[in-house]
Amino acid sequence: MNFLNAAIKRELLLALRNRSEIINPLAFFLLVITLFPLAVSPEAKVLANIAPGIIWVAALLATLLSMDSLFKNDYDDGSLEQIVVSPQSLALLALGKVISHWLSTGFLLALLSPVLAVMLFLPSEAMPALVGSLLIGTPTLSLIGAIGAALTVGLRKGGVLISLLVLPLYIPVLIFGAATVQAGALNLPISGHLALLGAMMVFTLLLAPFAIAAALKLSIRN
């Protein structure tokens, strides 16, 4: 646990030093949601109906935007190779990187989402469902995206390949996340949707760190 805490603190410190890694996903999230009313319709009823999907698609793409640099800097300066051959658990290091990535992206997106949801005329009843679904669903996005980032870390244009690899796996999270917000807007129970999102998060949390570690070893050897 000490090693995991140290890994999280290190990654958060690096993110604070390079603030563009935090600002860029948030700015992208803001721009996507701002442009939708201009492209679709400014009518409140129309935007309220599609708001859950818009917010979740924007959060998904903003998370995906920041995945390419998750292991890239360590790979470029050679520290990733030293970490792979060290006696420390590579899976724990990967988990620490994913947690710090979520804290600097998914967590902030969840906090920002109610403000932007007002622009889309999302009912106030849906705000708890929106924040809750993002807090539970975005860790799954980060964990799955980290597997793709580990597989493509040694490639020059890995960002495009990450999208191709992980977008199909993002679809269940997107469906249930948007459905949770839609149910909240209609004053329907959301516990079932949140339970499914939580189950997906726990499943990926148990398996993804080991998959990321194996993918990093494979990328370093190649």
Question: What are the pLDDT digits (tens) for 147-162?
Answer: 988 888 877 666 677 8
Reported as a single tens digit per residue, the pLDDT across 197-214 is 999 999 999 999 999 989
Please state the pTM of the whole predicted model. Answer: 0.90
CB 83 within 8 A of CB 153: no
Where exactly are the structural domains of the chain? 2-221
Res. 219: pLDDT tops 90: no
Longest dimension (CA), the chain: 59
Q: Which two tokens stand for residue 76?
A: 């470029």
Mean of pLDDT values over 182-198: 93
What region does 97 belong to: left with phi over 0, alpha with psi -120 to 50, or beta? alpha
Does 219 or 58 have the greater pLDDT score? 58
CB 204 within 8 A of CB 143: yes
CA distance linking residue 189 with residue 155, whole number of Å? 45
Give the three-state DSSP class for 156: coil
CA distance linking residue 4 with residue 6, whole number of Å? 5
Mean of pLDDT values over 156-183: 87
DSSP structural state of residue 210: H
Residue 79 pLDDT class (50, 70, 90 cuts): confident
CB 181 within 8 A of CB 114: no
